[in-house]
Amino acid sequence: MNRKRRTLLRDTCGASGMAEFGPALGVLLIAIFFPLVDLLSVCISYGLCMVLNTNQVNEAALLPYLDARNSSGSVLKGIPDTWANGMGHFVKMQGPPTTVVTYRSGQNSTDSLNNAVVDKVVRVTTTVICTPFLPIPLPVVSVPGLNGPMTFTISAERAMENPDYADPTP
């Protein structure tokens, strides 16, 4: 009789653990796993948008300002299109990236003949609107990166290879 009672108690304790496993797994997936997947996709999207901006600023530093600001040129059209067909496949975008190219004067210095030299710096600002990888439905609030779109605005500067190529009107 005593042995039978112990077996009955053991079976009862094990059954309650199984009954709590389903809700615990649901909470684990909804509250932890899916938000972490979205966080990882936000990090990957940001890194890939950084690669796009870096490629654009490197190209803009080599080109004359008319070519860099050309809407069908390599900085504003060619590089983003190539990126969208390659690495950009991993970024869930709402639309194409937008890019703004500006120029400013850098440091003043003198060359070996004591002539005044002014460095020119190009700044490329790229804006990408991304949506979350797994949008989690929240009824009241829109959280960027979790269930709403997020905007990445990335800006980088680089000295012009040839300062004569920079925009003469700063």
Q: 7 is in which domain, residue-wise?
A: 2-165
pLDDT at 110 over 80: no
pLDDT at 22: 79
pLDDT at 12: 55
Q: What is the pTM of this model?
A: 0.79
> Could you read off the pLDDT of 142-168 as tens digits, one per residue?
888 888 899 999 999 999 988 888 877
pLDDT at 54 over 80: yes
Number of independent structural domains in the chain: 1
CB atoms within 10 A of CB 125: 17
In a domain, 170, yes or no: no
Nearby residues of 71 by Cβ (< 8 Å), 6 or more positions away: 77
Q: Average pLDDT, stretch 74-87?
A: 94
In a domain, 104, yes or no: yes
Locate the DSSP E strands across the chain: 98-110, 116-130, 150-159
